[in-house]
Chains A and B, each alone.
Chain A
Amino acid sequence: MVTSECVIVGGGPAGLSAAKELLEAGARVTIIDRNERLGGQLIKQTHMFFGSEKQYASHRGIDILEYLVNDLAPYGDRLEIRTGTTVAAIYQDKVLGCLKDEKYFKIKAESVIIATGASEKALPFENNDLPGVYAAGAVQTLMNEYGIKPGQKVLMVGSGNIGLIVGYQLLQAGIEVKALVEAADRIGGYLVHASKIRRLGVPVLPKTSIKRAIGEDAVEAAEIWSLDENWQGIPGTEKKLDVDTICIAVGLSPLTELLQQTGVRVEYVRELGGNVPLLDEGYRTTVDKVYACGDVANIEEASSAMVEGRITGIHAARDLGHEVENAGFRIKALQHELYDLRGGPPGEKVRQGIKKREVLA
C-alpha cells in the first residue's frame, strides 16, 4: 500500500497553507483534491480580497492561489500532489480509500489533515430542482473557470457577500441580473459590494424571497414575493420575473462527512455553519493525529483558512516529531492574525461560534 507521513485532503487555501508548514519542517506530504486543479474556492475568485496585507488583501483570489502553489515548489521531492482524486472513505487506522479515473486505491497515512471546505445550501421552493436553479458557487465555477455563461437573465437569491460578489461577476460577464432578493430586512454582506451592483442598476430587494420557479425542462421565469415580519410570503405581492437562471446564495455548510468517518466528535454550532468538529488550539480533533481547518471547521473566509492552515501545519509537524524553528513565537503571531481578522462587528458571529465550540470541547 502507498504510504504517506501526512495526507492533506483538500487543496484549497487551508490545505495548501498547512502543506507549506509541514514541508518546511521536513515532513513528507501528500495533497489530495478531487478537482483537476488545486486551489479550492480560490480558483473562481476574480475579485480583490478584503482583510489585511498579511493575507494578501487587495489581491485577487486567483492570484493568491498562485502564490500558495508556488510556495510549495521548493519541496517537490517530499511533496506528492494527487489531483482529480476523490477521497471516498477514511478508515479508523488512517487508511484512505481514494478514487481516481474510476480506479480505487488506498493510502496509509501517519497523520491526516481534513480541509475539505464546504458545500452550498439549497433552498426549498416550488420547482427548486429545475435545471437553471444553480448554487452561486456553481455559477461562479461555470463563468470564471470554464468561461461559460450560466444563462442570459438571472435572479440572485441571498445578499451575503457571496450573492453580492457573484451578482457583480455576472454583470462583468455580460449577463443581466434582474434582481437580487434578500429575506431579511437588510443586506447581509458588505455595503460596498451592494452599492457596486446597485449603481449598475440591479434592484436589491430586502424582505423579499423567491416563491417558485416556472418552467418545463428548465427555468423560464421566477416568481418573487414580499415577506412579512415572520418571514412568511404575503399573498398578492407576487411578481413574475423573466429569467432563465436562478442563483442560490443562502450560505454554506461544512463538508464534514469524511471527517466523521474517522470517528471524531462533531457538534452542531449554528454560528459556524452547522455540524463542526470539536478542536483544540492546535486544530486537533478528538482523534489522535486527525486535524481539521478552514471552512470544514468553521464557515469563514480564505484569509482565516490560510492562517488556520498554517497553525495546523506547524502543530501536525511537531506531533510527527519534526522540529519547527521558533514554533511558539510563530504560532502566537498567527493566532494574533486570526484575532485581528475576526475583530469588529463582521467577526462577531464567528467569535461566538468558536467560543461555543471551545465550551463543548
Chain B
Amino acid sequence: MRIRKHPILSFPEKDSVPFYYNGKKLYGIEGDTIASALHANGVKKLSESINLKRPRGFYCAIGNCASCDMEVDGKTNVRTCITPLKAGMEVKTQRGKGRLHGN
C-alpha cells in the first residue's frame, strides 16, 4: 500500500530492509519506522489492550500516545511509530504491560 503516484511528492525507490514480525520475515524500506513498514505490509494491529485484549493500531504516529507499543529485540514498550526500522529487527506483539528496560 505504498503511494506510487503523487502530484507533489515523489517517493523514489529505496533499498529494502528485512525484519521479522512475530517470526515472519517481512520487508520495509530505508527510511521506514517499524510501524510504517508494518502498515505497508498490511499489518494494522500493533498491540493489545492490557485487560480486555482489544486490538490496537497506531493513533498519533508522532510518539504521543503509546498505542503502537511493541516488543522489539526483546525490549517491551517500544513506540514503533517513531523508531526507525533496522535490518534484522525482531518485532513482536507485546503481551501485557511489558518490563522495565535495563538490568
Contact = CB atoms under 8 A, between A and B. Distances in A.
Interface of A: 34-36, 46, 60, 84, 86, 102, 119-120, 122, 129-135, 137-139, 141-144, 146-152, 172-174, 217-218, 255
28 contacts: A35-B63, A36-B84, A84-B84, A86-B63, A119-B60, A119-B64, A120-B60, A129-B54, A130-B54, A130-B55, A131-B56, A134-B57, A135-B61, A138-B58, A138-B60, A138-B61, A147-B3, A147-B6, A147-B9, A148-B36, A148-B39, A151-B1, A172-B6, A172-B8, A174-B5, A174-B6, A217-B45, A255-B64
User: How would you classify the secondary structure of chain B's contact residues: helix, strand, loop or mixed?
Assistant: loop
Nearest to A172: B7
B90 interface: no
B91 interface: no
Contacts of B101: 102
A149 B57 contact: no
The listed residue with most B CB atoms (<10 A of its CB), out of A86, A147, A174, is A147
Interface size class of B (residues with CB under 8 A): 35 or more
Contacts of A132: 44, 57
Nearest to B42: A218
B32 to A, nearest CB: 6
B9 A46 contact: yes
Interface of B: 1-3, 5-9, 11, 31-33, 36, 39-40, 44-46, 49, 54-65, 75, 81-82, 84, 101
B82 A148 contact: no
B92 to A, nearest CB: 17
A35 B45 contact: no
Contacts of A147: 2-3, 6, 9, 11
Contact of A173 (B3, B55, B60, B62): B3
Contacts of A138: 58-62, 81
B8 A131 contact: no
Contact of B39 (A119, A142, A172): A142
B87 to A, nearest CB: 16
Contacts of A144: 9
A60 B9 CA distance: 11
B1 A146 contact: no
A10 to B, nearest CB: 11
A130 B39 CA distance: 14
Given A143-B3, A174-B5, A131 B40 contact: no
